Chain A
Amino acid sequence: MILSEKHQMMRNLFRQFAETEFTSELLDELEETGEFNRAMHDKMAQYGFHGVKIPVEYGGQGGDSLAYVLMIEEFARVSPVLSIYANTSNSLGSGPLLFCGTEEQKQKYLVPVAKGEKILVFALTEPGAGSDAGGTLTTAVEDGDYFVLNGRKTFISGAPFADYAVIYARTDPSQKGSKGISMFLVDMKLPGVSCGKPEHKMGIIGYPTSDIILEDVRVHKSDLLGPLHKGFATAMKTLDGGRLGMAAQALGIAQGCLDESIRYAKERKQFGKPIAKFQAISFMIADMATEIEAARQLIYSTAVRKDAGDPESSKLCAMCKLFAAEMGNRVAYKAVQIHGGYGYIKEYKVERFYRDARITSIYEGTSQVQQMVISGNLLK
C-alpha cells in the first residue's frame, strides 16, 4: 500500500519525535525505575498524540486509524513501552466513549483524555476472567441514583496513576457469560477505589500495571456508559481498534529488531568477515524483513478498510493481531540469535525488544483468542 502524502508526513513526524525524544537515557530510566514518566506523557500531550484518532470536536487531532497505527508502529520501533503511553486514550479508553457515550460524558471524560490532561484506563480482566471475560465477577448493584461496585480487576495498565477507569461489572446476575455486564466510568479518587502493588513484569517496564480493587464504590448513574446490561456487546465492537494498535506495536518492535540486526550483522566480524556475509545470517534477515512487510501491508490495509466500514474488519483486526504478534516474537528471537551472546546482555537493544515482544501475543486477547475470533467468523 502506498501511503498518501499526508500519511507520509505523519510517519515522518512520529519517527522524528520518537528518534529525538526517546533518548537512551530516558529508556534506561524507565527500565531501571519501572515508573511512569509524567514529563514524557506531557510532551506527547503538547503535540496531541493522546488524541490522534479522536475527533477535533472532542479535543483530538481528527486522524484516522492509519494515523494511529503509524504512530504506535513508529513509537514502538524505538520504545515499545512508550508506544503504550499514547495508546489507551486512542483505543480502548476512547472507543467505548465515542461509541456509546452521551454528549455530557464525552465532554467530561473524552475531551481531557484527548488532550492528555487526564488518564483513562481500561479495566476488563479479573483474576478469574481473562480470555473468558464473560466470567466477570465484579458486581454493580443499583441503589437510588447510584450503582454500588464491588470486585477486583487485575493487570490494569496505567491503573496506579490513572484518573479514570472504564470498569466492567455484572449488573444482571440472572444472565450468564458476557450478557448482563455493563460499563462504568469510574473516578479513581472515589471512596472505595484502591490499587494493588505494581506487578514486576518481564517487559514493557515503565508503565505500571496493577490491580484495581473496588469496595462499595458508589458510582453515579450518569457514569453508566452505554446501555444497561449490554455493555459487553458494545465494548466488543470497540476492541477491534485496540487489536489493530497492538498489532502495530508488534510491527514496530519487529522493525526495531530488524534495524538493529542489520547494523550488527554488518559490524560484527567472525571467521575474518562480517557475519552478514554468512548465508545463515543474511537469510534470517531476509525472512525477518519479508514477514515484517507482510504484517505491515495487512495492518495498513485493515486500518483503511476498518474506517471505510468494511464488514470483514473485525476478523481482519484479529488477523492483524495474531499475525503481527507471532511474527514479532519470531523476529525478536532471530534478532537475539544474530547478536549471539551480546543479544542476551541488557546493554543491547534487542534484549529489551525480545522481552517487550512477548506481551504482544498475550494482552488485548491472546493469540488463541484471535484464532477463536477468526475461526468463529469463518465457521459461523
Chain B
Amino acid sequence: MKCIVCVKQVPDTSGKVAVKPDGTMDRSKMAAITNPDDLNAVEAALTLKDHQSDVKVVVVSMGPPPAARMLRELLAMGCDEAVLISGREFGGSDTFATSQILAAAIQHMGLERDDVIFCGRQAIDGDTAQVGPQIAEKLGIPQVTYAAEIQKTGDTLTVRRMLEDGYMTIQVQTPCLITCIKELNTPRYQTVRGILECDQKPYQVYDYETLKDEPLIEPDTIGLKGSPTNVYKSFSPPVKGAGQMLEGSGRETVDQLFGILAEKHII
C-alpha cells in the first residue's frame, strides 16, 4: 500500500516575522521549514510503515524548486519517494487551485484501493486548513480531519478526532484522506545514514507537461486564474494577553484562582 503525504515548505514564523512594506510576509528573509503539522502527517505514515512492511511512503509538495531541500530531508527521515510539483503555470494558486493540482498529481501517480493520503491540519503561513479537505473532495474519497490517534486494521482506519470541545472516534475505509494535528505524534529525526542515502531514493518533478492531461487540470482551474480567493485586506490581529494556567484540582488551586479573580476585581 501507499501512504501519500502532502507537505508544504513554509517560512519559520516561530522567530521574528519579516514583513514587506505592503504588509505581506517577506519570505526571502525568513528561514524555510517544513510545515509543523505536515511533519506529524509524515510521522503518521512512517509509523504505519514501521508496523507494516509493504507500506511505501511518498511525499508530495507543490512549491518552487528550493522545496527540493525539504523533500530530501523527509527522505532522510525515512520516506521512500518524493515528488515536487513545480511550474510557472502553478504559481499564484490559492487553496482551491492548490488542492486541484495536488489531487491531479495524486491521480497521476494512481490512487489505489488500500492507499491513504495524509495531510497536516493547516499550514502556519496561511492557517486555512482547506487544502486537505479539498483534495479529498476532488478525489471523491472520505476524509477525517484533526486526527489525534490512528489505528489501522486491514483496510479500516479508526481515527480519534480532537475537536475543541471533545473527541470523536470515526471509522473509515481506504482509500481516504486524514489531516493530522500535533497531538497525534512526535515526528522522528533524520539519521546520518538517511542523509547520506537520500539521493539514491526515487525523486520526481511533475511540471505542467506531466500533469496537463489530467482531467482536473484546466487553464482556469490552476494558478492565479484558477484561484477564486481575493485577499481584500490583511492585518495582524491585536495580541491577546497570554492566559495563566493553574494546575491541580484541589482546594489550594481553587483558593489561588479565587485570589487572582478577587485581585482583578472580577469577583
A62 interfacial by beta-carbon distance below 8 Å: yes
Please indicate the chain B residues that have their CB under 8 angstroms from the CB of A62 in the complex.
Answer: 192-193, 196
Q: Is the CB of B73 within 8 A of A9?
A: yes
Please indicate the chain A residues that have their CB under 8 angstroms from the CB of B196 in the complex.
Answer: 6, 61-63
Among A13, A17, A49, the residue within 8 A (CB) of B195 is: A13
CA distance A199 to B134 in the complex (A): 63
Please indicate the chain B residues that have their CB under 8 angstroms from the CB of A13 in the complex.
Answer: 76, 189-192, 195
Q: Is the CB of A48 within 8 A of B192?
A: yes
Q: Is the CB of A6 within 8 A of B189?
A: no
Among B72, B73, B191, the residue within 8 A (CB) of A47 is: B191
Q: Is the CB of B195 within 8 A of A6?
A: yes
CA distance A66 to B56 in the complex (A): 32
Q: Is the CB of A61 within 8 A of B190?
A: no
Q: Is the CB of A17 within 8 A of B192?
A: no
- The B152-196 residues at the A interface (CB cut-off 8 A) are 188-193, 195-196
Q: Is the CB of B69 within 8 A of A52?
A: no
Among A5, A16, A52, the residue within 8 A (CB) of B192 is: A52
C-beta contact mask, A75-104 vs B, less than 8 Å → 1, else 0? 000000000000000000000000000000
Q: Give the one of A56, A61, A62 with max B CB within 10 A.
A: A61
A10 interfacial by beta-carbon distance below 8 Å: yes
Please indicate the chain B residues that have their CB under 8 angstroms from the CB of A63 in the complex.
Answer: 192-193, 196
Interface residue count for A (Cβ, 8 Å)? 16
Q: Is the CB of B189 within 8 A of A47?
A: yes
Please indicate the chain A residues that have their CB under 8 angstroms from the CB of B73 in the complex.
Answer: 9
B27 to chain A, nearest CB (A): 19
B10 to chain A, nearest CB (A): 16
A61 to chain B, nearest CB (A): 4
CA distance A6 to B189 in the complex (A): 15
CA distance A186 to B76 in the complex (A): 36
CA distance A9 to B191 in the complex (A): 10
Q: What residues of chain B have their CB less than 8 Å away from a CB belonging to chain A?
A: 69, 72-73, 76, 188-193, 195-196
Can you give 6 contacting A-B residue pairs, CB < 8 Å?
A9-B72, A10-B192, A47-B188, A61-B196, A62-B192, A63-B193
